[in-house]
Structure 1
Amino acid sequence: MSRIVTLVLVDPAGTPLGALPSYEVPEPWWQQVGAIVDGARHRHGADVAVLRLLTADRPEPPGGRLTYLAEVAAPPAVPLAPVPVDLAPHPLRAPWAEPGGPARSLAWATAELDRRGRPVTAVTQHRTWNLSAIWRLDGPDGSAWLKQVPGFFRHEAAVLRWLATAAPDLVPTLIAADDTGRVLIEHVAGEDRYAADPAERSAIAAAHHAVQLRATGDTGRLVAAGVPDLRGPALARWIRDRLAPHDTSVVADLLAGLDDRLDRVRDCGLPDTLVHGDLHPGNVRGDGRRATFIDWGDAFVGHPAFDVLRLTETIDEPTAGVLLDAWAARWRADAPGSDPRRAVDLLRPVAALRMAAVYAMFLAGIEPSEHPYHLGDVPACLKQAAALA
């Protein structure tokens, strides 16, 4: 599967210039823009910065025919087709999705590296969508990554600062951060471990347990630093608030009994801790010698079972059972008298319900043209929660 992309170009002032001829890129995932940038350069001699998605011919990713807005310093030699485009401002538009936005973020990152004696010689745009913009900055002293996120993910920098002390060998090195959602981190060798086998998932779970155990004594500090507090009743309120605009009839009973269910979870005796929030193997990067936990924007303070449920949700039940048994044994040893497996059983539908609320939060915080990225996720997660309740 691939994409057919059309780039509508604007200059740095936001003046529309027209559209490049459409071309095909091999990456099907809409937010991946590296091949789009390469295609514009090699096919049309245009050095572009992709700003945002404008339209798609299908309701959700991947693949299809898509139109993006892109910024270019000067019009390319190839003729541009006049196209109608709505460039009206939107209050929920990401700062990197506006003309001049990428240049401002890259100027900040380049200055931070220059101050450290690390000149930048090449910049590559990798991703842009409603949840993040990502660039790689290369130089003679190595590579760094610039990531910029919306307001609901800005606590990632606070998490990385805490982890730099608590578990420095398990997380990327934070070089710099500001208060606009920008973080600059060191390159991490290896590849994202989407295809991790059961043995590797087991190692991931064991390493993450050490982080969570360390965090049990620092939850107050993490919350004070801005990490969302989703402990007990706060989680129930947070879920209900975000799902209020959506049709939740399929989980009406689960929502009605949520406070009672979370009380029973509390009685299982496990401590609250730092939760990664999206601990699938793709958010672990490894090279065979070291595993690094990445993408902490979904992190919150809450129950540790949410992470092991995410880690085991895409594997068969017997394999997941082995990993859950090992996870439960670790917590029984570190929290004597606790009942981790009961907590997992009680939280299984809540985990799906929480993900529905997360996607609802995304939809409430992004402009409508970006909704196709997530529109189907809320009902899908609600249906899953109902099936597990």
Structure 2
Amino acid sequence: MNWTDDPAGVEIRIVGEENEAALSRLGPDVSKTESIEGKLKELGIPPTLEHGDLDATNVFIRNGSPVLMDWSDACVSHPFFTPLTPAQARRHSEFVDTYLHEWTSYAPLENLRGGFQFAKPLAALESAFHYHRNIVPYLPYPYPDFMTLERYIPALLNMAAEALENVPEDE
């Protein structure tokens, strides 16, 4: 049987096309990432331990305090990358301000809000590259959630492209 006759093979080809479309959309604005990196550095926030997969499924309450689970994607990175996944991109401003308040010893809240917005495309790109390099290639085939994870990469690339499209040229 030809791989294109296999439903999984067809799915992989479709995801490949989705990746290509997302990369094409990203291309014109990718040069903005250097200036964004500079804006984040201006905040003076040092690299820190970054969870890499922080969402409601990885937070538990024990004795009234939050406990973070599943540190398998953890790394040292910019702390504004943690709360930026496609499923969580539309955070309520109250959540964002609560998260950013922990960094006000480095910069005023208003500056942190701006930095948080600037971090979106870099956070999405970092996640896409991480999944592309370190997660998907090592999954056994067939893997039950393979297509879900494969589709996550173009979703992240499109999130980055959308965020970069909203960054002014002079930033």
Distance in 2 between the 1:325 and 1:257 partners? 25
CA distance in 2, matches of 1:382, 1:322: 26
Report the CA distance shift for 1:281/1:288 in structure 2 as closer, same or farther (over 3 A): farther
TM normalised by structure 1 equals 0.33
Q: Does 1:364 align with 2:137?
A: yes
Q: Structure 1: 5+ residue runs without aligned partners?
A: 1-54, 61-245
User: Structure 2 regions of 5+ residues with no counterpart?
Assistant: 1-6, 13-18, 165-171
Call closer, same or farther: CA 1:341–1:364 in 2, change over 3 Å: same
Are the equivalent residues in 2 in contact too, given 1:309–1:344 (CA < 8 A)?
A: no
User: What do you get for the CA RMSD once the two structures are aligned?
Assistant: 3.1
Please name the residue that 1:344 is paired with: 116
Hey, which bits of structure 1, 4+ residues long, moved more than 4 A?
55-60
Alpha-carbon contact 2:84-2:123 (below 8 Å) kept: yes
SS in 1 for 2:142: helix
CA separation of 1:325 and 1:311: change in aligned 2, threshold 3 A: farther
Partner deviation per Cα, 1:22-44 (whole Å, 9 max, x = no partner): xxxxxxxxxxxxxxxxxxxxxxx
Q: Does 1:331 align with 2:119?
A: no
Match of 2:84 among 309, 319, 325: 309
Contact (CA 8 Å) 1:277, 1:300: kept in 2 or not?
yes
Provide the C-alpha distance between the structure 2 equivalents of 1:376 and 1:312, rounded to a whole number of angstroms.
13
Superposed displacement of residue 288, structure 1: 6.3
Paired residue secondary structure (2:46): coil
Deviation at 1:258, TM superposition (A): 1.8
Letter in 1 for 2:151: G
Question: TM-score, normalised to structure 2's length?
Answer: 0.69
CA contact (8 A) 2:36 2:118 kept: yes
Q: Matched residues in 2 for 1:384 and 1:262: separation?
A: 17
Which residue identity is paired with 1:324? V
Higher helix share: 2
Answer whether contact 2:43 2:107 (CA < 8 A) is retained.
Answer: no
Aligned residue among 66, 75, 99 for 1:300? 75
Q: 1:269 aligns with which of 38, 44, 55?
A: 44
In terms of fraction of residues, the more strand-rich structure is 1
Name the CA distance, whole Å, in 1 between partners of 2:108 and 2:82: 21
Q: Cα offset for 1:326?
A: 2.8
Q: Which structure would you say has the larger RCO, counting Cα contacts within 8 Å and 6 or more residues apart?
A: 2
Measure how far apart 1:363 and its partner are.
Answer: 2.5
Q: Which is higher, the Rg of structure 1 or of structure 2?
A: 1
